C-alpha cells in the first residue's frame, strides 16, 4: 500500500491548523491589551475604538462606548479581583472575559467606573473625546421640551430664532414631549422651521417615579408647598427632573454634541450673525448662558447640602479653577442661590453625559429632592457646570438679546446693540440687577464689569 506523502498527512494538517489557531490567539491578546493600555493611559475612547481624534465627525458615540465596554469591563473586573495591584497593561493574565450574566446596567456601570479610574478628575478630557475639529461645523441642534397646548407660544419663539439666527445657519430642531405630539402640532412646526425637524416621545421610565421614591411622602410634600410657585405641581417636578437627568439621554440626541435649549414664549432681541455652536467649539467652551438669577430658597432646602455631600465623597470630580465663588460666598459652606437660568442654554451634551455629571445626578435623584422638595434643573445644571468644569469653560453671551418672562438680557455694549439690530431696552437689562447674579459671575470669573453697571443695582 502506497504511503501518503508527509506533506499531505492528516497529522501535518492538524499541526498546521493548531499553529494558526495559536498565532491567532496570541495576536488577539496583544491587540486587546493594547486597547486597554490606550484607554488606561489616555482615557481616549477614540483611540480605543481605533478612530483618530481628527475623525470625530464620523464617530458613533454609542458604538465607541460599546467597543470600549468589553475592555472596560475587563479592567473593572480585574481591579475588583485585585484591589491592591493596579492593572499593568501587557500582562495577559489580567485579561479575563466579562461574566456572561452581567446586565446592560452593570456593564454600563463598569464602563463608567473604568473611565473614572482612568482619569478621575477630568471631565474636560471626557468631553474632548468627542470634540469636533476646530473650524468645522459642529453636530448641533435646538432642543425644545414642550406640550401640545403650548404650540402658539412655541411658534412665536421659533419665528424669532429663525429670523435672528437659524434662517442662516440651519441647525436641526428636536421637539420632545411626554405625550405624543398631535398632527396639528407637527404640521405647524414643520412649516415654521427652516431646517430638519424631529419629534420624540419621552420614554415612560424617564418621566415617572423611580422605585426609590416614596410617592405618599412626595404627595404630602406637594401639599405643604402650596405657597411656592409650581409647589403643588407633580408634572413640573417630572419636568425639572427630566431636564436635569434625561433630555440628553433621548435617542434623538445621540447624533449631536451641542444643543441650544429653546422654550415657548421666549424672545431673541438681536441678530446673531455668527455660528454660536461653532464659536463654542472653536473657543473650547462647554456651557453658555444669558441670564443669571437667585433661586427661591424654599424649593431647594437640601440641594446644597446634598451636593456638598456628593463632592465630599467624590472630590475627584471637582475641577481645579472651578466657579465655587459664583455659588458660595463662604467657600462652599452655604449656597448664595446663584445659578444660570436654564431656559436658555447653549451647551455641550457631553457635559451631561460625563461620568461626573451622571454620578452627581444619580446621587441627587436617590436623595429624593426632585420630588420631596422642588429642585429645579437650573440650580442642578449650574452647580454641576460651575464645579466640575474649570471656569474658563463657561461663557456669558452678553451679545445675545434674550427674554424669558419676566427678565431681559439686553446687550449693553453700544456697538453690539447697533450692529446686531437689537430692539430691547438697555435700561431693562437684568444682568446687574440685585436679584440677578451678574455681579457675582463677573467677580468670580475675574471679568471686568461694563462701565456704569452699578446703576442697574436698584
Ligand atoms: N411635554 C411637557 N413639557 C413641559 C411640561 N411642563 C413644562 N414643560 C416644558 O418644559 C419647559 C420648562 O417649563 P416652564 O413651564 O417654562 O417652566 P419655567 O420656565 O420654570 O416656568 P415659567 O416661568 O412658567 O416659564 C418649557 O419648554 C415647557 O414647555 C410637561 O408637563 N410636559
Ligand atoms: Mg419657562
Cell numbers representing residue 379 in the block: 440650580
pLDDT band for position 458 (50/70/90)? confident
DSSP 421: T
Task: Name the residue at shortest CA distance from atom 26 of ligand 1.
Answer: 263
Give the mean pLDDT of 196-210. 98
- Residue 323, CA distances (Å) to 328, 334, 367, 434 in order: 9, 14, 24, 20
Q: Which residues surround ligand 2, an ion (CB under 5 A)?
A: 263, 343
Q: How many residues does the chain have?
A: 458
CA 186 / ligand 1 centre spacing (Å): 18
**Residue with grid cell 431696552, as numbered in its chain:** 425
Could you tell me the pTM of the whole model? 0.77
The ligand 1 atom nearest the CA atom of 243: 10
pLDDT band for position 7 (50/70/90)? very low
Q: Which of 345, 373, 440, 454 is catalytic?
A: 345
CA 190 / ligand 1 centre spacing (Å): 21
Alpha-carbon torsion (397, 400, 401, 402), positive or negative: negative
CA 263 / ligand 2 centre spacing (Å): 6
Q: Tell whether the model's pLDDT for residue 39 goes beyond 90.
A: no
205 tagged catalytic? no
Query: Is 249 in contact with 256 (CB distance < 8 Å)?
Result: no
Give the mean pLDDT of 159-165. 98
**Residue with grid cell 406637594, as numbered in its chain:** 222
CA 23 / ligand 1 centre spacing (Å): 60
Give the mean pLDDT of 271-295. 98
Give the mean pLDDT of 51-78. 31
Q: Could you give the CA distance from residue 113 to residue 129 in angstroms, rounded to a whole number?
A: 17
DSSP 166: I
Q: Which residue has the higher pLDDT, 43 or 95?
A: 95
The ligand 1 atom nearest the CA atom of 343: 19
The pocket around ligand 1, CB under 6 angstroms, is made up of: 145-147, 150, 177-178, 235, 239, 263-264, 343, 405
The interaxial angle of helices 234-245 and 355-367, nearest 10 deg, is 160
Q: Shortest CA distance to 317 belongs to which of 370, 374, 267, 358? A: 358
Cell numbers representing residue 105 in the block: 446596567
pLDDT tens sequence across 348-382: 999 999 999 999 999 999 999 999 999 999 999 99
Task: Name the residue at shortest CA distance from atom 4 of ligand 1.
Answer: 146
Q: Which of 142, 143, 147, 237 to mutate to test the pocket of ligand 1 (most atoms within 8 A of CB)?
A: 147
Q: Which ligand is nearest to the CA of 242?
A: 1
Q: Shortest CA distance to 111 belongs to which of 178, 20, 49? A: 49
Share of the chain above pLDDT 70, in %: 74
Q: Tell whether the model's pLDDT for residue 59 goes beyond 50.
A: no
**What kind and span of H or E run contains 395?**
strand 394-396
Amino acid at each position: 500500500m502506497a504511503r501518503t506523502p508527509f506533506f499531505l498527512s492528516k497529522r501535518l494538517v492538524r499541526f498546521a491548523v493548531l499553529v494558526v489557531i495559536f498565532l491567532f490567539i496570541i495576536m488577539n491578546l496583544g491587540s486587546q491589551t493594547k486597547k486597554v493600555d490606550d484607554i488606561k493611559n489616555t482615557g481616549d475612547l477614540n483611540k480605543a475604538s481605533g478612530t483618530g481624534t481628527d475623525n470625530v465627525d464620523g464617530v458613533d458615540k454609542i458604538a465607541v462606548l460599546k467597543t470600549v465596554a468589553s475592555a472596560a469591563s475587563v479592567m473593572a473586573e480585574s481591579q475588583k479581583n485585585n484591589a491592591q495591584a493596579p492593572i499593568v497593561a501587557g500582562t495577559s493574565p489580567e485579561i479575563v472575559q466579562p461574566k456572561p450574566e452581567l446586565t446592560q446596567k452593570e456593564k454600563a456601570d463598569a464602563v463608567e467606573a473604568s473611565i473614572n479610574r482612568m482619569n478621575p478628575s477630568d471631565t474636560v478630557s471626557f468631553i474632548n473625546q468627542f470634540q469636533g475639529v476646530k473650524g468645522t461645523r459642529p453636530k448641533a441642534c435646538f432642543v425644545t421640551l414642550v406640550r401640545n397646548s403650548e404650540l402658539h407660544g412655541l411658534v412665536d419663539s421659533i419665528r424669532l430664532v429663525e429670523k435672528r439666527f437659524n434662517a442662516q445657519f440651519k441647525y436641526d430642531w428636536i421637539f420632545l414631549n411626554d405625550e405624543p405630539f398631535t398632527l396639528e402640532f407637527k404640521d405647524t412646526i414643520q412649516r415654521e422651521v427652516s431646517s430638519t425637524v424631529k419629534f420624540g416621545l419621552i420614554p415612560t421610565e424617564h418621566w415617572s417615579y423611580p422605585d426609590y421614591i416614596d410617592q405618599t411622602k412626595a404627595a404630602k410634600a406637594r401639599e405643604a408647598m402650596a405657597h411656592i410657585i409650581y409647589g403643588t405641581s407633580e408634572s413640573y417636578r417630572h419636568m425639572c427632573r427630566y431636564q436635569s437627568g434625561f433630555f440628553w439621554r433621548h435617542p434623538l440626541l445621540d447624533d449631536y454634541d451641542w444643543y441650544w435649549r429653546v422654550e415657548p414664549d421666549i424672545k431673541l432681541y438681536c441678530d446673531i450673525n455668527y455660528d454660536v455652536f461653532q464659536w463654542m467649539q472653536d473657543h473650547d467652551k462647554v456651557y453658555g448662558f444669558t441670564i443669571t438669577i437667585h433661586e427661591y430658597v424654599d424649593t431647594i432646602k437640601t440641594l446644597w447640602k446634598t451636593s456638598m455631600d456628593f463632592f465630599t465623597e467624590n472630590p475627584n470630580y471637582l475641577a481645579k479653577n472651578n466657579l465655587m465663588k459664583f455659588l458660595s460666598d463662604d467657600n462652599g459652606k452655604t449656597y448664595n442661590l446663584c445659578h444660570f437660568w436654564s431656559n436658555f442654554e447653549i451647551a455641550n451634551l457631553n457635559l451631561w453625559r460625563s461620568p461626573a455629571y451622571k454620578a452627581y445626578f444619580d446621587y441627587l435623584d436617590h436623595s429624593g429632592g426632585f420630588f420631596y422638595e422642588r429642585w429645579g434643573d437650573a440650580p442642578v445644571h449650574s452647580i454641576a457646570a460651575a464645579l466640575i468644569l474649570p471656569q474658563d469653560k463657561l461663557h456669558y453671551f452678553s451679545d445675545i438679546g434674550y427674554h424669558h418672562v419676566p427678565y431681559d438680557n439686553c446687550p449693553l455694549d453700544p456697538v453690539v446693540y447697533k450692529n446686531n439690530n437689537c430692539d430691547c431696552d438697555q435700561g431693562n437689562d437684568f444682568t446687574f440687577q440685585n436679584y440677578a447674579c451678574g455681579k457675582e459671575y463677573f467677580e468670580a470669573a475675574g471679568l471686568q464689569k461694563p462701565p456704569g453697571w452699578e446703576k442697574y443695582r436698584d
